[in-house]
Structure formats: structure tokens, C-alpha cells
Amino acid sequence: MNCSGIDVETGERIAVEFDQTIRSIQVREETPDIADDAIWIAPGFIDIQVNGFAGYDFNDPEVTLGQVATALNMIVTTGVTRCLPTVITGSPHGMLACLTTLRRAQRELPNAKAIAGFHVEGPYIGAEDGPRGAHPLQWVRKPDLAEYHRWQEVTDHNVRLVTLSPHFEEAPDFIRAVVADGCAISIGHTGATAEQIQAAVDAGATLSTHLGNGAHKIMLRHPNYLWEQLAEDRLSASFIVDGIHIGRAFLRTALRAKTVERSVLVTDASAPAGTPPGHYKLGEQYADHLEDGRVVLAGTDKLAGSSLKMSQGIANLVHLGGLSLRDAVQMSTVNPARIVNLEGRQDGLSVGERGDIVLFRFRDTVEIVASYVDGRQLT
């Protein structure tokens, strides 16, 4: 397979030869004409937090293989070539059922290689309103290493990321054991103290999940758990950049604190993503997809994931975050790959890396032209 375009990283016009891996990269001598219709080339995008898409919910224990396929087929049209379908707080049986179906999808679907593993967000989170977000209160519980091993058993050890609150007494020991098992730990949905956050980081936590969200509406101006995570250089942070979950001022301040190198773009997309406004089922709950793009628990103003597409998130990082296109793409490619230790995706467009490539135009938004996974064209 061969493709060419303007390298997002260098601004040079390049030609790439690839199959399952990148075989060669040739720099062409002509000066690229960076116009609105220019074709850019980049590593395929990576989304480490996606709860559903196209009307289908990865947190529904009865979700079918065909429904997962429909959701995945739409996800890849946004330039995402690897993702972590995300299962949130639910009953032990329900979470296992969801993970079992998703693992089957990872083995059997035509676009299965786009599933790089799984993210379990909860159920070990803060129970208070605010930090809990849209997670169902009745299933919040303390960290349980035996339950974690059941997740890994049904997914053949493909859970790559677990989000928890470090306020539990059991959290440091749980984090150490999970990290030693090769799975990354992220702090999220928490009202933890500075000491609890530091203990989690000392134990091996490396990420903050959708920082700025899953928090109290009113908190002390300082100290508080947002400042503690922003100031901790051992933590990277993910952000939902849809213009709804966090405002422009917080986004820009947080990016300066974490730096581009320690920042990750996620969609936190839920089932209504890629669908018209309407009423949708999310696990045991219902949500409304509103005209303004918000996804909220039915009858409330509580956000329940997003309708964000990764392609639009990259454009939003440029327009709202003030980043270069290069930096925005870094936040959606090599940075998440490094957080979840995704093999063959941590060095960008380089010989020997996986043949995951996306071609796009960039005007006001990112318009996907083609995307490839392991050298196979998906869109």
C-alpha cells in the first residue's frame, strides 16, 4: 500500500509505503502547498475512552455483536484506527457480560483490529454527587482485585486501563497490583485529598481521566483535587474537548500546566454520538441527545458522556485550545499510545511502526479522506 500527503509532524510532503507495518517513508523535494484542500498524513487516531456510538451502548449487557460492529464501523470513519471501548460502573455480572461481548468483537469483527483493548471506568469511584458523574450510585464499590482479575480473564488480559478514585483505603495496594500486572491506572471521578492523590501516584497511577469533569460543582478554590492533579508532573491528563465539558479558559490553562507531552484527547463518546438528537438508553439509565450536542441523563442537566467525534476534537484543540495541528494530532496519537503501552504506535510515522495511517483535510474541521489499520483500508 502507498499513500502520500503533508506530514503533520514535519510539514514535508512524504510518500509512505506500508502493509501491516510502515516499510519506507520518502521525503519529496517539492515544497508543499498548504491550502484548504491539502491532504495531510498522520498516524491513525487513538481514542482510549469511548462508551458507545451510532446509537449503541457498550455498557448494555445485551448489546449484540452486530451492534458493536455498527458502532465500530462509524468510529473508524472519524479517523480512529485504535480505540479502547469503555465499560463504566455497573453490576459485577453486567460489567462482565459487556466485557465478554467486547472481547468477542475484538476477535471476530472485520474491523476487530481497531479494538486495541478495553478501559474500565469505575466502579471504584467517588459516590458523591458531582464526582460520581452519570455513573449509577447503586453499583459504586471499593476496589476489588479479584473482580479486576475476572475482567482480565474474560478479555484474555486485554483490559489496558482502569479509572478509579484514590480515596479508598484499599486504593494504593490495588494500584500497585494492577500496574504490576501491566495495566495502566488513571485517577478519575474523585473528591480525593492531596495525600490520597499523592499515594495513588506513588503506587503507579499515571493519568487523570477527563480532568475538569467528574467533579463537584462547588469546591474550595485551593487546595482541591483539580489543582493537585494539574500540579503533579507524574500524571498525564485526558480532556474531552467538545466545547461543552470544559471551557476555553480551563482547557488552555490545563494544557499549559500539563504540557502537550502529558495531555491526551478523548471523546468519552456515548451511544448518542453520531446520531440525531433524541432519547437513548445508556446501560440501566436513559439519556437525551440535545440539539446543542450535549448528552445528559434524561430529565436532568447532568452530562452523560459526549457526542464528540475524534476528528472534531482535534479541530477543537486548534480553535479552542490554541494548539498547532501538529500538537493536536500528538494528543490523539502517540500520547495515548504511550499511556496504555500500545505496541507499534508510540513513535508516530516511523519505519517499523504499525501501518495505522489517516489522511485528512483540515479546514474548520478535520475531514477524513482515508484511514488504514495494519495496512488495511477501513474508510
Grid cell in block for residue 21: 507495518
Q: Residue 282: pLDDT band by 50, 70, 90 thresholds?
A: confident
Q: Residue 347: pLDDT band by 50, 70, 90 thresholds?
A: very high
Residue 132 is predicted with a pLDDT of: 97
Residue 28 is predicted with a pLDDT of: 87
In this predicted structure, the answer to whether residue 31 has a pLDDT above a threshold of 80 is: no
Mean pLDDT of 300-319: 96
- Residue 118 in contact with residue 81, Cβ under 8 Å? no
In this structure, the number of other CB atoms found within 10 A of the CB of residue 66 comes to 11
Q: Residue 296: pLDDT band by 50, 70, 90 thresholds?
A: very high
Q: Residue 281: pLDDT band by 50, 70, 90 thresholds?
A: confident
Residue 80 is predicted with a pLDDT of: 98
- Residue 130 in contact with residue 217, Cβ under 8 Å? yes
Edge-to-edge strands of the sheet including 376-377? 22-27, 13-18, 2-7, 40-43, 357-362, 366-373, 376-377
Beta-bridge mates of residue 2: 17
Side-chain-side CA neighbours of 61 within 13 Å: the count stands at: 11
**Secondary structure class of 91 (helix, strand, coil):** coil
In this predicted structure, the answer to whether residue 34 has a pLDDT above a threshold of 90 is: no
Residue 37 is predicted with a pLDDT of: 83
pLDDT, one tens digit per residue, over 89-122 is 999 999 999 999 999 999 999 999 999 999 999 9
Evaluate if pTM is beyond 0.95: yes
Side-chain-side CA neighbours of 320 within 13 Å: the count stands at: 22
d(CA 59, CA 74): 17
Single-letter residue type at 218 = I
pLDDT, one tens digit per residue, over 51-86 is 999 999 999 999 999 999 999 999 999 999 999 999
Grid cell in block for residue 127: 459516590
Side-chain-side CA neighbours of 183 within 13 Å: the count stands at: 29
Residue 29 is predicted with a pLDDT of: 78
- Residue 325 in contact with residue 331, Cβ under 8 Å? no
Report percent pLDDT > 90 for the chain. Answer: 94
Q: For the stretch 77-107, what's the b/e string if a residue is b when 16 or more beta carbons lie within 10 angstroms of its beta carbon? A: bbbbbbbbbbbbbbbeebbbbbbebbbebbe
The residue among 359, 374, 373, 307 whose CA lies nearest residue 73 is: 373
Phi, psi (5° rounding) for residue 40? -95, 150
Class of 44-345 in CATH = alpha beta
Mean pLDDT of 354-364: 95
In this predicted structure, the answer to whether residue 35 has a pLDDT above a threshold of 90 is: no
pLDDT, one tens digit per residue, over 147-178 is 999 999 999 999 999 999 999 999 999 999 99
Q: List CB contacts of 155: < 8 A, sequence separation 6 or more.
A: 99, 100, 102, 103, 106, 117, 118
d(CA 50, CA 57): 10
Mean pLDDT of 6-24: 96
